[in-house]
Structure formats: C-alpha cells, structure tokens
A = this chain, B = another copy of it.
Amino acid sequence: MPLTEKTCVPCRGGIPPLTPGEASALHGQVSGWALTHEATRIERDFKFDDFAAAIAFVNKVGALAEAEGHHPDISFGWGYAHVVFFTHKIKGLHENDFIMAAKVDAIT
C-alpha cells in the first residue's frame, strides 16, 4: 500500500525505532527527503517565492500533522521552509514519519 494511503498510528514509545535498513527501504518511497542523523530523521528543504507562500505551506503541513496526530519540527522564513520528521518518543524513525513525508510531498 502506498504510504499516502496509510494513516499514522498512535506511538507512545516502548518500541524500537526502525533499523537503518528498514528506514532505507521506506526512504525509497520519499526519495526527495534526506535520511539524516544515522537514519534517525528525515528532512527536506522547500523553496518559495516569498514569506506568504512559505507560511501558507507551513499551515498546510500543520493541518496535515494535526489530522494525523504526528507533528514535524519546522524552520521557515522568507522564501523557505525546512521540515523534519522524527519520532521523539522512540528517539528515531517510525513508519508514521514516512507516512507524513509522503503526505507532505502530495500537497506540494
């Protein structure tokens, strides 16, 4: 099933993060993202024409995050946004992070 058709599941911790091999396999479906910090995060840069376009994108990502109950860390300003997914409770990556990345790609 494509990641965009999946839904984030609650993650309260107590499970191991994805292994680097598992993360690499899912990464193939969201290859525009960078797999960083020893395969414990995925992150992507987005460019825009101005501040208004950047914050409009940030709000679309925010709405998606609220709908899925899985939230990114976002840095943005005039003409750019940088989005990071990382499951804080397991200090690494969960399938939820890849589902969110795929859904963000689908709205860009």
Query: Is A75 interfacial (CB 8 A cutoff)?
Result: yes
Interface string of A19-54 (1 = CB under 8 A from B): 000000000000000000000000000000001100
Cβ-neighbour of A66 out of B51, B62, B77 (below 8 A): B51
Complex copy number for this chain: 2
Please give, as numbers and ranges, the residues of chain B lying within 8 Å of A18 by CB-CB distance.
Answer: none
A62-94 contacts to B, CB under 8 A, are 62, 65-66, 71-78, 88
Cβ-neighbour of A71 out of B62, B65, B74, B77 (below 8 A): B77
Question: Within the assembled complex, what's the spacing in Å between the Cα atoms of A76 and B59?
Answer: 12
Residues of A bordering B, CB below 8 Å? 51-52, 55, 58-59, 62, 65-66, 71-78, 88
